[in-house]
Structure 1
Amino acid sequence: MYRLVFQKSVTVTGVNHGRHISCVSPDRVWISDWYNLILTNSTGHRLEQLKDVGCGWGVHTVNSDGDLIYIDSEHNINKLSTDNKDKTTLIKYNTAPWIPLCVYSSPTTGDLMVGMCDTDPWTGKVVRYNSSGENIHTIQHDKITAMGLYSLPIYITENRNGDVIVSDYYYGVVVTDRRGNYRFSYTGPPSGSGLWSHGICTDALSHILVCDDQTQSIHIINCNGEFLSQILSPQHGIDRPFGLCYYEKTHKLWVGSLNNNTANIYKVVHRDSLTGTHKMDEEGAISSPGESWIASLSKFGSDRPVIYGDSNRMDSGLGLSGIGIEESHEDLPDYSEESGGKRLKREKRELAEEKDILIVTSKVNMPQNVSVKDLT
């Protein structure tokens, strides 16, 4: 069950719409339309405005220090300090005819991933730089088929397992692993409605959320590209969701609209769907069927999510389905004398500990202030 609890709507002065959003803190975000980039708080008050931002889609990101990194009008990639006083050019534009369209700062490595395009012919690539702006490698072709992976990469993000996730104007969602090996593409749910992908982000469970301008909703897929659910369609009062940002420390989702300068803020609550039901509840939560087995314990005085159930639910909650623990975590200690079953169970629990997730497999080890009823 994937639930969004509506928090508030924010009218942002200084932009015409919310094309892209980058979170700085629980109550401050950078938000842009086609020409303007504004730092605003959760009341919509304009705190800062940049004049030299480039036109485009995902042209800014925030690093783990809270610095803004953005593509300027001359295609340079700059860093603006947290106090908004010091600006540094990280990557001087010298990649013509390739033009940078989107940028993302990895919170784990500090690397910058830049989506670029060449218009003659239309083709795209992703270049990974370190935090000092030095080129590490380029992702452009499927290493097996030699086919081009991108055409017009307009948004880019990273999943918890290191996957590089691109929202491509023509090709939908394209996912490679951190080394550039092609994993999958997502071009719409099984119903065949298609996908016109725009803003994209991931959540604490490695789900991928992408705005679809064709259905004017947000699609949720798991880390292997399987469609889970569709949320925030027009009947939920969102006018063309376009820009997305998930702030993991508070599990808040900011959603910008293409048609106005109002951003909506939601609390993401992952719940165990044992009952198989979904509805709009008295808290104003929008629920939809999905494959999430995490329940937030924040209302019980803890921010640790919990997985309750069997190993399949554990795999889904940890984002392991179909990936394999060894590929996701290469630096685990050597326990070669363990049996396969014991090793896999231990590795899953180590991964849960790393993600600060509490695994509960029976009522016996359920925390005293949490009951099964609370998690359904």
Structure 2
Amino acid sequence: MSAHHRAAVVALTALAPVSWGTTYVVTTEFLPPERPLFTALVRALPAGLLLLAVARVLPRGVWWWKAAVLGALNIGAFFPLLFLSAYRLPGGLAAVVGSVGPLLVLGLSALLLGRRPVLRDVLAGTVAALGVSMVVLKAAGALDALGVAAAFASTASMAAGTVLTQKWGRPEGVGPLALTAWQLTAGGLLIAPLAILAEGAPPALDAGAAGGYAYLALVNTAIAYCLWFRGIGRLTATQATLLGPLSPLTAAVLGWAALGESLTAFQLGGMALAFGATVAGQLRWSSAGPTRRHLAPHDLAPVTLPGERLPAPHIGTGPHQRRPASVLAVGVRREAGRRRGHNWSAS
């Protein structure tokens, strides 16, 4: 991936956490109070059904249970746990706990993807968490154990969903739109019974609330999650998750601009730290990170890493034209077969 292409992918993916950072303002200014599960349901299920109608692709085979697992981790468990922690924890502590997501992704990537943590990424994740803490953490009373547990569980759920999304990729011929539709629909169906049992019938909605819910479902969820899952397929899981601090930073800026909240010099310093760590987490050097090994004469096929694509082979027109890698690989196999006495014409 070229530098310009990577920058474009990062910028588009970053729009997702920026959009999620608007949730606080929309929720406090337009939506009915004390209805977190109903809000989570309206965010997920209508958006999933809409995208499903547009994509017109259903899961097949193992992707029925894979979509259900990803939908549960990224949506069905994440949304309710996130709202529960936000309601029970004071002073932005839920956002502070959520900011350790990049560090959890590093650990899960080592466990599930076999990628050893890079010191640069560990430092970026740590500095980002420190910066977010400086921005959102305020003085508060005793901590609520259930709220802290819910905050950590929501962060772990999203981290696991992010890593598994990259590990499993997408079925052949299925784009980010369909993958997003599957997860939102599955997650919304999991939230629906919880919302009905815990909160009862839907509340009455005025024009502002209807508009707020429409924004959350279409922009904040349908479009944002399409960009997010598309980005996970092109970036490393750590790179994508290190964009997460943009969400609380956006919320803080909107709180200052739209709600008249103050920003101290200490908070501005935290913003600079978190934003700098986010940018540093997107930088790739040739001496670190995933690398592609070169083909040797005995290689049977080019090797790629998850989320990485080989450039198209150059095919010349002269007598010394290069053959595509697939043709070269077949030739190597045939030569090896002849040496072993194997009849490749019958294969």
TM-score by length of 1: 0.25
> Comparing both structures, which one devotes a greater share of its residues to helix?
2
Q: Which one has a bigger Cα radius of gyration?
A: 2
Bigger relative contact order, structure 1 or 2 (CA pairs below 8 A, ≥6 apart) = 2
> Comparing both structures, which one devotes a greater share of its residues to strand?
1
TM-score by length of 2: 0.27
